[in-house]
Amino acid sequence: MTGNRKLRCTDHRGNLTETTENIRRLEVWLGFLKWVLWLAFLILIGMDNSPQ
C-alpha cells in the first residue's frame, strides 16, 4: 500500500506543471459553473415569483 502511494507521489512530482495547469483549469471551470448555476437559480426564482 505505502509503496504504491510513494510511486504515485513521485509520478505527480514529475508532472508538477501539468497538474497545476489542470487544477487551475478545473478552478476556472468550477467558478464558471457556479456562475451559470447561480444565474439559472435566480432566473427560476424570478419566473416562480412573476404572476402567470
The domain spans of the chain are 2-49
The residue with greater pLDDT, 43 or 2, is: 43
User: pTM for this one?
Assistant: 0.49
Instruction: Flag whether pLDDT at 38 surpasses 60.
Output: yes
Torsion angle (degrees, nearest 10) of CA 34, 39, 44, 50: 150
Tell me the H-state helices in 1-52.
Answer: 2-14, 16-49
Instruction: Flag whether pLDDT at 34 surpasses 90.
Output: yes
Instruction: Flag whether pLDDT at 25 surpasses 70.
Output: yes
Average pLDDT (24-36) is 96
Instruction: Quote the distance between the C-alpha of residue 31 and its chain's center.
Output: 7
Instruction: Flag whether pLDDT at 14 surpasses 80.
Output: no
